[in-house]
Amino acid sequence: MPTKTVINAAGRSVPLEINGRSVIPFKGVGKHKPDGRKYSPPIPVCYDYPDDGNKVVSSLEEALRKCGLKDGMTISTHHHMRDGDLISNKIFEIASALGIKDLIWFPSASFPCNDPIIKYLDDGTINRIEGSMNGPLGRYVSEGRMKGTAVLRSHGGRVQAIQDGEVIIDIAVLAAPTADSFGNAKGTGGTSACGVIGYAKADYMYASKVIVVTDNLIELPCFPMEIEGNYVDYVVVVDKIGIPEKIVSGTTQVTRSPDRLLIAEMTASFLEKSGILKDGVTMQAGAGGTSLAIAVFVHEILKKKGWKSKFGFGGSTKYMVKMLEEGQMGFILDAQAFDLDSVKSIENNPNHVPYSVFNAYNYHSKGNLTSMMDIMILGATEVDLNFNGNVVTHSDGYLLHGIGGWQNCLHARNVILPIPLFRDRIPVIVDEVTTLCGPGELIDVIITERGIAINPLRKDLIERVKGTGLPLKTLRELKDEAEKICGIPQKPQFEDEIVAVIKWVDGTVIDVVRKIKAG
Amino acid sequence: MKKTVAIAGNTGPKVRSDCEIALELKSEGDIKIELTSKVKVLYGESIKKLITEILNFFEVKHASVKIDDSGALPFVIAARMESAVKQLIDTDLEFLPEFLKENNYTSTRDRFRFSRLYLPGNAPGLMINAGLHSADGIILDLEDSVAPEKKDEARILVRNALRQINFCGAERMVRINQGKRGLEDLHFVIPQNVNLVLLPKCESADSIKEVEETIAGIKKKFNLENQVFLMPIIESALGIENSYEIARGSENVVAMAIGLEDYTADLGVSRTLEGTESFYARTRIIVAAKAAGIQPIDSVFSDVADMEALKQNVRVSKSLGFEGMGCIHPRQIPVIKQGFAPDDTEIEKSKKIVLAFETAKRDGLGVVALGSKMIDPPVVARAQKTIGLAIRLGILSSDWINESQPVD
């Protein structure tokens, strides 16, 4: 069935309807101003809950049954168990055995450990995923094998969609490293500690039914609680909610690749010479090897100059923790801990503060933490000549990554993308991104091993780095250089069929992913 | 029976930017190409086109080709294909990718050779961005880093790399093999504007002359003008004993290096961090090189993770008189460069001495004094050398003398 499409403000052809519901095409950054009120979950009555507060039931299956699991429901999960998640797949295994069909899985992210979900997409238990699709799941979607249309949102966009009622969660199944029988829960303690469970906040507040699953049930009260028991319907105790060594990396590692280290060094040097790095700076960097190397180089500069970062926003890593402990960072506000040092730091250091994406990233709220950040280090699979960025598909057209917090972070003061100019012959700078995830007007600097390109809109930055000896080039020069080495790539071929839509932070549709043409 | 199946290149989970090509010659039928590649969507057609072009070039009409590609650049694919063809067909033809005009630079006898980065000659992934790390020289190695059964294909890959990769001004070096194979290696690399050839396990001036003659022959044959310098590597007790003759073996010898792994093995001792066991050899090399007016170059430091130990190693190396060191990882380059460059204290001290010397000269005094201390002429000479080095490295302005306060 052909879908009616229009050209949105970013020049992309997008549908007016997805999965039977109408959607709003992207209007431009800051242009969409929704009216109406936020979504509200049903009003519960405490009369219906045990007087002694004990909400423990015998199994996840019983909890799901009691929540009224039925065809077509939306089931949400968080991704704090990362690649060690033992709960998400279990939900659909149970649903499949019960003969339930057409569920919508609404995770905050998925990992390779979730690949078995394909089985439940195949057997009709799940209609579609609204979340991130990596690796084999992405391939599955790109090949047009998923029944419904996938919806990709940023972390903040997911919160916005829940809050605005775009997505109504019927049942939230929330893994918790520690919980009590009333449903109070936190990310620390036990054998499956992940540090924080901030991604669960919107889910437990807005879902119709909430199940907390733990492998570490403690006496009431579980304190300090990140999930408040008053929102929770059932508590399930299992042997294991996750595989500890896959929940957090034992240790995150700085890249060893000489080229990535060079990019990291150039980034640190750019930050210093442009004056972006200064006393009191606020910053965020991810857990990728290059980002970690940047953190190390930045730490050295801060030490050398006697400067201190006011606060850093996590995903935290041991390198950020080191800054905190050695006095070059005042606070870490943290939405997720990437390694064991970070988990320990959250447990022990009062200046390492759990902070939910609900507070940090939600675009339909009264402020956006990311817009207060001076330095934002992000990645991309592609950037085009207009600085537009893609993080979900590769140049071969396949869906391979989620958006994560990437779109939300674009609102920082200085958005810097340190990326290799080509990866295994695949040029990163292209004429036009395969999938538009972030408009170029929000992306300030591209740093590659062969040169630095500053967005012409940032005249101030261009002015500030004049005469510093940094290797400044235009994106076109960088693209030509890459193509001279790699050759000019062919374009992937697509069918008309839309297999996934990409939402902007305000819930509008910025782009779509189309089915790969077989061949 | 004549061999009809050949395999060239590399594949495997850790291999990137390379490909493995299996070629089977047939007696009839069209060319069949089977391509597995992570970049198939983007470059599938151009890879097939290139393969067809090469087979046509070598007049192969009936064959099946299987390519397992991990993102190899065209010059790599071409090298692998040519290697496979040459395993099955006797030919002197060479399928040469374009020689980049930016690779047409020359070198000079006395340029700095603080850091020279070794790249295994059969690992294309490490070559592509090697020039970005600002090494003084880049060595494409055909010797110890290449497995014996891969020696032939490495030559072709290195030849293509010299044509296609821009090393951004780094001195273009190749380490050839020992003996006859080394002389054959020269035929592949000398026509590609190589600036310097490293001769491993050099033990006599005769071997220098042999290489020199071969190079001269190739240059004559191809009518080449470019100067090719030589850097013998001394890696045995005999080599150490003959080091002065080796250093003077040809006017093209501009530097002489020591290779301590093989040297300590030759002595039957272990290589230690302190290097007491090689102290004599190292100082002997330095003296021989200086006597011959060439640069003495230290052995590589093999623990790539320990930058502190490397720093310490460079400090000792420089204090003994070495003027450079090999690198096996790009991250060693800045440490080595910085280590061999004069530091601030040295520069400041030298500036004072040179200024005092200039003042004495101006005032017509025969004796140079700094404060109450007399300065001997060799001290002045050393200070002048340090200043000259600092200026050439861009650490010091060439007009520093007018920018300084005069010494009273």
**A450 contacts in chain B (CB < 8 Å):** 132
Q: Is residue A149 part of a domain?
A: no
Buried/exposed A159-171: b ≥16 CB within 10 Å, e otherwise: bbbbbbebbbbbb
Question: Which one-letter amino acid corresponds to residue B311?
Answer: K
Partner-chain residue, chosen from B71, B74, B331, that has the shortest CB–CB distance to A424: B71
B77 contact residues in A (CB cutoff 8 A): none
Residue A366 falls inside a structural domain: yes
Q: Is the CB of A518 inside 8 Å of chain B's CB atoms?
A: no
- B172 neighbors B103 (Cβ within 8 angstroms): yes
**What is the C-alpha to C-alpha distance for residues A112 and B297, in angstroms, rounded to an integer?**
50
Residue of A393, A395, A424, A473 to mutate, testing the B interface (most B Cβ within 10 Å of its Cβ): A424
In sequence order, the 6+-apart residues with CB closer than 8 A to the CB of A124 are A101, A102, A147
**A266 and A242 inside one domain:** no
In a domain, B95, yes or no: no
In this predicted structure, what is the pLDDT of residue A253? 84
Q: Which of A261, A419, A425, A514 to mutate to test the interface with B (most CBs of B within 10 A)?
A: A425
Interchain contact B155–A (C-beta under 8 A): no
CA A323 from chain centre, in angstroms, equals: 24
Task: Look at chain B and report how many structural domains it folds into.
Answer: 3
For residue B93, being part of any structural domain is answered with: no
Mark whether A448 and A377 lie in a shared domain.
yes
Q: B183 and B301: one domain? A: yes
3-state secondary structure chain B: CCCCEEEEECCCCCCCCCEEEEEEECCCCCEEEEEEECCHHHHHHHHHHHHHHHHHHCCCCCEEEEEEECCCCHHHHHHHHHHHHHHHCCCCCCCCCCCCHHHCCCCCCCCCCCEEEEEECCCHHHHCCHHHHCCCEEEEECCCCCCHHHHHHHHHHHHHHHHHCCCCCCEEEEECCCHHHHHHHHHHHHHHCCCEEEECCCCCHHHHHHHHHHHHHHHHHHCCCCCCEEEEEECCHHHHHCHHHHHCCCCCECEEEECHHHHHHHHCCCCCCCCHHHHHHHHHHHHHHHHHCCEEEECCCCCCCCHHHHHHHHHHHHHHCCCCEEECCCCHHHHHHHHHCCCHHHHHHHHHHHHHHHHHHHCCCCCEEECCEEECHHHHHHHHHHHHHHHHCCCCCCCHHHHCCCCC
The CATH number given to whatever domain includes residue B232 is 3.20.20.60
pLDDT of residue A2: 58
The answer on A193 and A301 residing in a single domain is: no
In a domain? residue A41: no
Q: How far is B9 from chain A (nearest CA, A)?
A: 16
Residue B215 has pLDDT above 60, yes or no: yes
Q: Are residues A278 and A202 in the same domain?
A: no
- Residue B396 forms part of a structural domain: yes
Mean pLDDT of chain B: 93
The reply to whether B57 and B184 lie within a common domain is no
Interchain CB distance below 8 Å, A424 and B73: no
- What pLDDT, on a 0 to 100 scale, did the predictor assign at position B406? 52
Nearest residue on chain A to B166, judged by CA atoms?
Answer: A485
This prediction has a pTM of 0.91
* Domain containing residue A284: CATH number: 3.40.1080.10
Dihedral, CA atoms, A258, A262, A268, A274, nearest 10 degrees? 180
User: What residues contact residue A510 under an 8 Å CB cut-off, 6+ apart?
Assistant: A8, A10, A12, A14, A26, A436, A437, A439, A502, A503, A504
> Does B45 reach chain A within 8 Å, measured CB to CB?
yes
Q: Which element (helix H / strand E) includes A423?
A: strand A422-423
Q: Are residues A311 and A233 part of one domain?
A: no
Residues B319 and B313: their CA atoms lie apart, in Å, by: 10
Enumerate the β-bridge partners of residue B20.
Answer: B9, B68
CB B253 within 8 A of CB B208: yes
Task: Mark whether B284 and B261 lie in a shared domain.
Answer: yes
Q: Measured between beta carbons, which residues in chain A are less than 8 angstroms from residue B101?
A: none
Task: Confirm or reject contact between B332 and chain A (CB < 8 A).
Answer: no
Picking from A395, A490, A492, the nearest residue to B45 by CB comes out as A490
- Confirm or reject contact between A441 and chain B (CB < 8 A): no
Residues A198 and A324 in one domain: no
Q: Kindly determine whether residue A424 and residue B39, on different chains, have CB atoms separated by under 8 Å.
A: yes
B71 lies in the same domain as B114:
no
A397 touches chain B (CB under 8 A): yes
Residues B56 and B149 in one domain: no
B141 in the same domain as B40: no
Report the pLDDT value the prediction gives residue B384, as an integer from 0 to 100. Answer: 87
Residues 197-216 of B with CB under 8 A from A: none
Residue B274 sits in the same domain as residue B354: no
Residues A230 and A336 in one domain: no
Give which of A488, A436, A432, A428 is closest to A453, Cα–Cα: A428
Note whether residue A64 is domain-resident. Answer: yes
CA distance A129 to A76: 10
Query: Nearest CB to A425: which of B45, B73, B330?
Result: B73
Task: Let me know if residue B330 belongs to a domain.
Answer: yes
DSSP state of A41: P
Question: Considering the domain boundaries, does residue B408 fall inside one?
Answer: no
Q: Tell me: do B197 and B284 sit in the same domain.
A: yes
Per-residue pLDDT tens over the stretch B221-244: 999 998 999 999 999 999 999 999
Q: Please tell me the predicted confidence (pLDDT) of residue B408.
A: 46
**A282 in the same domain as A193:** no
- In chain B, which residue's Cα lies nearest the Cα of A259? B129
pLDDT band (50, 70, 90) for residue B358: confident
A416/A78 Cα distance (integer angstroms): 28
Which residue, B57, B88, B119, sits at the end of a domain? Answer: B88
How many interface pairs between A and B have CB atoms less than 8 angstroms apart?
Answer: 59
* Per-residue pLDDT tens listing for chain A (519 residues): 557 899 999 999 999 999 999 999 999 999 999 999 999 999 999 999 999 999 999 999 999 999 999 999 999 999 999 999 999 999 999 999 999 999 999 999 999 999 999 999 999 999 999 998 888 999 999 999 999 999 999 999 999 999 999 999 999 999 999 999 999 999 999 999 998 898 999 999 999 999 999 999 999 999 999 999 999 999 999 999 999 989 887 677 888 899 999 999 999 999 999 999 999 999 997 788 899 999 999 999 999 999 999 999 988 999 999 999 999 999 999 888 888 899 899 989 999 998 877 778 999 999 888 999 999 999 999 999 999 999 999 989 999 999 999 999 999 999 999 999 999 899 999 999 999 999 999 999 999 999 999 999 999 999 999 999 999 999 999 999 999 999 999 999 999 999 999 999 999 999 999 999 986
Residue A214 falls within a domain, yes or no? yes
Same domain, B361 and B298: no
- So what's the pLDDT on residue A24? 97
CA-to-CA distance for A122 and A146, rounded, in angstroms? 8
Q: Is the pLDDT confidence value at B206 over 90?
A: yes
Peptide bond into B394 cis (omega under 30): no
Cα distance from B248 to chain A (closest Cα, Å)?
A: 37
Residue A98: domain span: 48-130+167-247
Cβ-defined contact of B129 to A492 (cutoff 8 Å): no
Partner-chain residue, chosen from B42, B74, B132, that has the shortest CB–CB distance to A449: B132
Inter-chain CB proximity A490 and B42 less than 8 Å? yes
Chain A residues within 8 A of B17 when measuring between CB atoms:
424-425
Q: Domain boundary at B294, B324, B340, which? A: B340
The answer to whether position B94 is within a domain reads no
Cβ contacts of B330 on chain A, cutoff 8 Å: 258, 261-262
Are B213 and B296 part of one and the same domain?
A: yes
Asked if B72 is an interface residue toward chain A (Cβ–Cβ < 8 A), one would say yes
Minimum CA–CA partner of A493 in chain B: B41
Q: Do B275 and B214 fall into the same domain? A: yes
Domain end marker among B340, B366, B394: B340
Count of domains observed in chain A:
2
Residue A374 shares a structural domain with residue A467: yes
Look up residue A273 and give its amino acid.
K
Q: What is the pLDDT of residue A359?
A: 72
Q: How far is A140 from chain B (nearest CA, A)?
A: 17
Tokens of B383: 């200070």
Residues A477 and A374 reside in one and the same domain: yes
Cβ atoms of residues A472 and A451 within 8 Å: yes
What are the chain A neighbours of B72 within 8 Å (beta carbons)? Answer: 425
Do A396 and B39 lie within an 8 Å CB cutoff? yes
Domain range for B359: 344-403
Q: Half-sphere exposure of residue A119, counting CA atoms within 13 Å on the CB side?
A: 14
A221 and A370 fall within a common domain: no
Say if residue A263 is in the same domain as residue A329: yes
Using the Cβ of A489 and the Cβ atoms of chain B, whether some distance falls under 8 Å is answered with yes
Query: Chain A within 8 Å of B53 (Cβ-Cβ)?
Result: no
Out of A242-251, B53-62, B115-124, least confident range: A242-251
**Do residues B228 and B157 both lie within one domain?**
yes
Looking at beta carbons, which residues of chain A come within 8 Å of B329?
258
Cβ of A424 within 8 Å of Cβ of B17? The answer is yes
Secondary structure E strands in A216-367: 234-237, 282-284, 309-313, 329-334, 352-354
CATH number at residue B31: 3.30.230
